[in-house]
Amino acid sequence: MAKKIERRKAIALRKQGKSYSQIKKIVKVSKGTLSCWLRDYPLPKQRIIELCNKNEQRIERFRQTMRRKKEKRWNEAFEKAKKELLPLCKKELLIAGLFLYWGEGTKKMAEGLAVANTNPEIVKFTIFWMTKILGIQKSKLKAKLHLYNDMNIKKEHLFWSKETGISLKQFRKPYIKKTTTMSVDYPGFKHGTCAIFGGNVISKEMVMMSIKAIAEKYNKKI
Average pLDDT over the chain, rounded to an integer? 86
Specify which of 14-28, 142-156, 186-200 reaches the highest per-range mean pLDDT. Answer: 142-156
Residue 44 has pLDDT above 60, yes or no: yes
Tell me what pLDDT residue 103 has: 95
What phi, psi does 64 have (nearest 5°)?
-70, -40
* Whole-structure pTM value: 0.72
- Residue 21: pLDDT band (50, 70, 90) is confident
Which residue did the predictor score with more confidence, 113 or 15?
A: 113
Residue 64 has pLDDT above 90, yes or no: no
Which residue did the predictor score with more confidence, 93 or 61?
A: 93
Tell me what pLDDT residue 59 has: 67
> What's the pLDDT tens digit per position in 109-163?
678 999 999 999 999 999 999 999 999 999 999 999 999 988 999 999 999 999 9
* Segment 211-221 mean pLDDT: 88
* Segment 193-222 mean pLDDT: 91
Residue 54 has pLDDT above 90, yes or no: no
Tell me what pLDDT residue 170 has: 97
* Segment 70-81 mean pLDDT: 93
Whether the CB-CB separation of 170 and 140 falls below 8 Å is answered with no
Q: What distance in Å separates the CA atoms of residue 69 and residue 19, rounded to the nearest whole number?
A: 20
Residue 222 has pLDDT above 80, yes or no: no
Give exposure, 127-163, as e/b (b: 16+ Cβ within 10 Å).
Answer: bebbbebeebebeebebbbebbeebeeeebbebbbee
- Amino acid letter, residue 78: F
Percent of the chain scoring above 70 in pLDDT: 86
Hey, which residues does 142 pair with through a beta bridge? 197
